[in-house]
Amino acid sequence: MADDGKPGEVTPEEQALADEWAAALEEAGDASQDDIDALLTQDQSARVPMEEFSSSANNVDDGPFQSVDGPNLDVILDIPVTISMEVGNTDITIRNLLQLNQGSVVELDRLAGEPLDVKVNGTLVAHGEVVVVNEKFGIRLTDVISPSERIKKLR
């Protein structure tokens, strides 16, 4: 951050920042001209330029997410995600949607016996087939998409 102006001179960026703070303080109900002046004349040396901050960040320990052997995934293993199985889908008009009632049949875009899509938080991760386990539906994974392929699909 370079100072191109004279010492004590307020730059347009600093004035804009001070105006934002003044509006916020006024909204809070306790703004005074002294508060605004203090914001304008605060010690500029306390601000750290972004370049210095990011270069010093490279020397800091990466915390629990990085170890000598690679990332430590233990910190995220207990985060819940939503897994869903998609039998198929179709597009219908709102008129036809409103006409649906008990016993209506909706034709899907998949053939009978075709694998289901297994999605985690909306991202396709595998394909599978429906099975029954202890009188409950389940899914047997038949094809798991590799992490590298999932990353390629994100781009």
Q: Average pLDDT, stretch 113-130? A: 90
For residue 76, count CB atoms less than 10 angstroms from its CB and return exposed for 0-12, middle for 13-18, buried for 19 or more.
Answer: exposed
Residue 141's pLDDT band (cuts 50, 70, 90): very high
Per-residue pLDDT tens for 84-101?
A: 988 888 999 999 999 999
Q: Domains of the chain by range and CATH? A: 114-154 (2.30.330.10)
The pLDDT score that the predictor gives to residue 77 is 85
pLDDT band at residue 113 under the 50/70/90 scheme: confident
Q: How far apart are CA 85 and CA 116, in angstroms?
A: 6
